[in-house]
């Protein structure tokens, strides 16, 4: 994060803003950020908004102040304060989609990436509808729009899932430790293989930066791989019990 007062003194930053505005590319600024637009001299004759204490600066360069959560004038997008972020983000997404229309950009907000239209419950390796067919929307924090639906479970589903886990644990314990380790390592490999796709889904659902989402995916894969290695090093000891013929395995 860079203070806009410091950024407005950077000739490269000013040149970048002027270049984007001149090229018709989306330029978005919120809160105190429009100080950079003032210094770049791209606001004369434009409608804009900003934090209350710097609106005089905008007026002084010929901008028309509009007190709304988001103001669009051509390719310039401005908002007043952090509470305007939902509207600000929606405006940015819409502008980027328009800018990238007809291209094959790899950016998450431009790609035709959506979650499955509906995630059903997965219990005992079987997909099924939720309680009475009810599903809830997964809302994108960037746009406020639904990007998919997740089935609602009922108490009976929970009980069945617990029983499935209990019986599954018994089956898993019967698998040799080295084979369990191999399965976990293979799972880590699959996660790494699909890391970009998984990270994009995390970004859509949670709004975190794509780089952070990708790092989270790789950390998860690393942890699963570590557990796979630990499976080969399982050890224990036998402790005598309080009564004759009794022992405790640790």
- Residue 94, domain CATH: 3.40.50.880
Query: Any residues with CB less than 8 A from the CB of 177 and at least 6 apart, and which?
Result: 231, 232, 234
- Is 32 an annotated catalytic residue? yes
d(CA 79, CA 89): 10
8 and 94, same structural domain? yes
The C-alpha atoms of residue 7 and residue 188 are separated, in whole angstroms, by 42
Average pLDDT of the chain?
A: 85
75, 99, 123 — which closes off a domain?
A: 99
Is 71 within a domain? yes
State whether 8 and 95 are in the same domain.
yes
Where is the domain boundary, 99, 121, 151?
99
pLDDT tens figures, 70-89: 999 988 999 999 999 999 99
pLDDT band at 206 (very low <50, low <70, confident <90, very high): confident
In a domain, 55, yes or no: yes
Residue 216 placed within a domain? yes
Q: Does the pLDDT at position 113 exceed 50?
A: no
- What does the alpha-carbon distance between residue 71 and residue 69 come to, in Å, rounded to a whole number? 7
Contact 89, 70 (CB under 8 A): no
Count structural domains, the chain. 2
Q: Establish if 37 belongs to a structural domain.
A: yes
The answer to the question of residue 196 being in a domain is yes
Specify the pTM.
0.49
Instruction: Find the angle CA(61)-CA(65)-CA(69) to the nearest 5 degrees.
Output: 135
Can you say how many angstroms the Cα of residue 245 is from the centroid of all Cα atoms in its chain? 57
Q: Residue 8 belongs to what domain range? A: 4-99
Whether residue 179 lies inside any domain: the answer is: yes
**Predicted local distance difference test score (pLDDT) of residue 105:** 38
- Tell whether 20 is covered by a domain: yes
Domain boundary among 38, 68, 99: 99
pLDDT of 106? 37
User: Which candidate in 13, 16, 32, 157 is catalytic?
Assistant: 32
Q: How high is the pLDDT of residue 33?
A: 92
In a domain, 13, yes or no: yes
Residue 175 CA to its chain's centroid (Å): 36
């Amino acid at each position: 994060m860079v203070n806009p007062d410091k950024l407005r003194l950077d000739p490269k930053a000013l040149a970048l803003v002027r270049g984007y505005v001149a090229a018709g590319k989306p330029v978005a600024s919120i809160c105190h950020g429009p100080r950079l637009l003032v210094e770049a001299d791209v606001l004369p004759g434009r409608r804009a908004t900003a934090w209350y204490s710097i609106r005089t600066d905008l007026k002084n360069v010929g901008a028309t102040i509009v007190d709304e959560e988001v103001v669009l004038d051509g390719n310039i997008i401005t908002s007043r304060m952090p509470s305007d972020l939902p509207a600000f983000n929606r405006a940015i997404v819409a502008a980027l989609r328009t800018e990238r229309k007809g291209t094959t950009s790899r950016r998450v907000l431009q790609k035709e990436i959506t979650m499955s239209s509906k995630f059903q419950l997965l219990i005992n390796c079987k997909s099924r509808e939720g309680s009475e067919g009810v599903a809830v929307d997964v809302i994108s924090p960037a746009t406020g729009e639904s990007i998919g639906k997740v089935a609602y479970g009922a108490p009976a589903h929970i009980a069945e899932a617990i029983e499935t886990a209990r019986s599954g644990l018994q089956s898993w314990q019967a698998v040799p430790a080295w084979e369990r380790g191999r399965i976990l390592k293979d799972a880590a490999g699959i996660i790494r293989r699909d890391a970009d796709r998984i990270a994009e889904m995390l970004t859509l659902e949670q709004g975190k930066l794509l780089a952070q989402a990708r790092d989270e995916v790789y950390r998860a894969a690393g942890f699963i791989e570590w557990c796979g290695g630990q499976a080969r090093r399982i050890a224990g000891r036998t402790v005598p019990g309080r009564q004759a013929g009794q022992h405790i395995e640790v």
